[in-house]
Chains A and B, each alone.
Chain A
């Protein structure tokens, strides 16, 4: 097996195994380290004996044994340390070839996204532990130096261990808040993957991981409208990826994308998630957001007029359940098409007291509207503000072209 294929095997097995070990031993570091040990042993053993038939099961058994060995060693070192007596792992039989790997990923997702964990660490921790994405890849996607991100992960794991964060799936009284923390974390993680239209390099792999983690979440929580909606949103957005960049590597705005280039299979999958979400709770915020994606993805070709009126109506409904600056900004884009640029600019002007100075889409949307309103100097300033914030090449090219196209 090539080393790339081995990496794939390790990554695919990682979430389930780390989750199963974490849930069994209530220790994230132990789970992660034991899995890494098992992978190192696999490299050695499989090069002689070949890859076993069920590689994941082999890794699980080996990692489990490594964990138990570590705990035994610790206990000998601290014979009288009472807190270590709790891990009486030997009472439980070691997993053998026929033991299925228990699926504890839901527990692990709730641990990683616990409100007591720093918000900026939750998405990274979920990607690391549940999706098996390497620290280096996460650091690149979040535009952080690798040691900075590694520190953040260490701090988060330390907090989880020290504060006694539970490994149980939360009960009904805490459910809405905790599920929302999970879904917001996934939005942040996916937002990182989505920002870069080209999806080249650092984000590519983990956009695929987001498809997987939303699938798992929707499967494990089949009665929650917003988990199904989240799975739909990620699929609709990923389906459009092939059309988001032109031959010159420049971003293509949604209304100019050729629907023929969209991934039809992903759209079908997204629709079935959305239908399930609507049947559960049609007016939840994320269900309405998925509906907006669905309206776009219903377009068959560039000859069909863009569905602006439908989009605006959906944003109006969304605003009644989630009134924030980002929803208002997106609504203004549709408003400009339906009721004119001045109405949209008036809406955006009302957002001045919001903390949007560092929010790239705010400046980009504003620049476009000002340009269309014939306010060229203001448009130029807004494009400059957007260009100062942009980090990805496809978006930079597009903004530069828009700015250059402004009449003098």
Chain B
């Protein structure tokens, strides 16, 4: 099955331009992690700060464009991996190793189309 791993963290710890020492260190960890995943990793990337986000909200069929992310929250979507894993337990084992700061979350979502 294919699973999306959605990474949520408080983005402030990495600084707005993602060039802080914390951001660099985390990036190096992600590169090493991606290498370790090998063919299990189908895709993945970090995302720019949620201040760079633009949201198109459709309400009663009417589209409006907003500055900012879809939902304001303490932790923001900061990156994702698309992986191929035989089952949820395997996906959990992979998701547990996603580089993360002291506080954060990785949401595991199976893809609708079976891979």
Minimum C-beta distance from A315 to chain B (A)? 34
For the complex, give the distance between the alpha carbons of A95 and B6 in Å.
44
Bound Cα distance from A83 to B87, whole angstroms: 15
CA A7 to CA B112, docked complex, whole Å = 40
User: Number of A-B pairs whose CB atoms are under 8 Å?
Assistant: 31
Q: Confirm or deny: B77 has a beta carbon within 8 angstroms of a beta carbon on chain A.
A: no
The distance in angstroms between the C-alpha atoms of A174 and B85, with both chains bound, is 16
| Contact residues in A for B91 (Cβ distance below 8 Å) | 164
Residues of B within 8 A of A83 (CB): 114
Q: Give A116 to B86 CA distance when docked, in angstroms.
A: 16
User: A82-B114, A83-B114 given as contacts; is B87 within 8 A of A164 (CB)?
Assistant: yes
A347 on interface, CB distance cutoff 8 Å: no
For residue A166, which residues in chain B have a CB less than 8 angstroms away from its CB? 86-90
Closest A residue to B114 by CB, please name it. A83
Nearest B residue to A166, CB-CB: B87
In this complex, the interface size class of chain B, counting residues with CB under 8 Å from chain A, is: 10 to 19
Q: Is the CB of B88 within 8 A of A165?
A: yes
Chain B residue numbers with a CB within 8 Å of A170 are 89
How near does chain B come to A308, taking the closest CB pair, in angstroms?
Answer: 44
Say yes or no for B39: interface residue by CB 8 A criterion.
no
**A212 sits at the interface (CB 8 A):** no
Contact with B along A162-175 (1 / 0, CB 8 A): 11111010100110
Q: Are A168 and B88 also in contact (CB < 8 A) when A82-B114, A163-B110 are?
A: no
- A165 to B87, Cβ gap below 8 A? yes
Q: Would you call B13 an interface residue if the criterion is a C-beta within 8 Å of the partner chain's C-beta atoms?
A: no
Cβ of B47 < 8 Å from any Cβ of A?
no
B80-98 with Cβ < 8 A to chain A: 85-93
Q: How far is the CB of A121 from chain B (nearest CB, A)?
A: 16
B22 contacts partner chain A, Cβ-Cβ < 8 Å = no
- Does B1 sit within 8 A of A, measured CB to CB? yes
Distance of A83 Cα from B108 Cα, bound (Å) = 21
Interface contact A162-B110, CB-CB below 8 Å: yes
- Is the Cβ of A168 less than 8 Å from the Cβ of B114? no
Most interface-central of B3, B88, B91, B93 (chain A CB within 10 A): B88
Contact A164 B1 (CB under 8 A): yes
Assembled-state Cα–Cα distance A173/B114 (Å): 27
Given A83-B114, A164-B1, A164-B110, are A174 and B93 neighbors across the interface (CB < 8 Å)? yes
Chain A residues with Cβ under 8 A from B1's Cβ? 164
B110 with A173: CB separation less than 8 A: no
Interface flags, A155-198, vs B, CB<8A=1, else 0: 00000001111101010011000000000000000000000000
Which residue numbers of B lie inside 8 Å of A, CB to CB?
A: 1, 3, 85-93, 108, 110, 114
Interface residues of A (CB under 8 A from B): 82-83, 114, 116, 162-166, 168, 170, 173-174
Sample of 20 more A-B contacts, CB < 8 Å, known A114-B88, A116-B88 = A82-B114, A116-B92, A162-B110, A163-B88, A163-B108, A163-B110, A164-B1, A164-B85, A164-B87, A164-B88, A164-B110, A165-B88, A165-B89, A166-B86, A166-B88, A166-B89, A168-B87, A168-B89, A174-B89, A174-B93
What are 22 A-to-B residue pairs whose CB atoms are below 8 Å? A82-B114, A114-B88, A116-B92, A162-B110, A163-B88, A163-B110, A164-B85, A164-B87, A164-B88, A164-B91, A165-B88, A165-B89, A166-B86, A166-B87, A166-B90, A168-B87, A168-B89, A170-B89, A173-B93, A174-B89, A174-B92, A174-B93
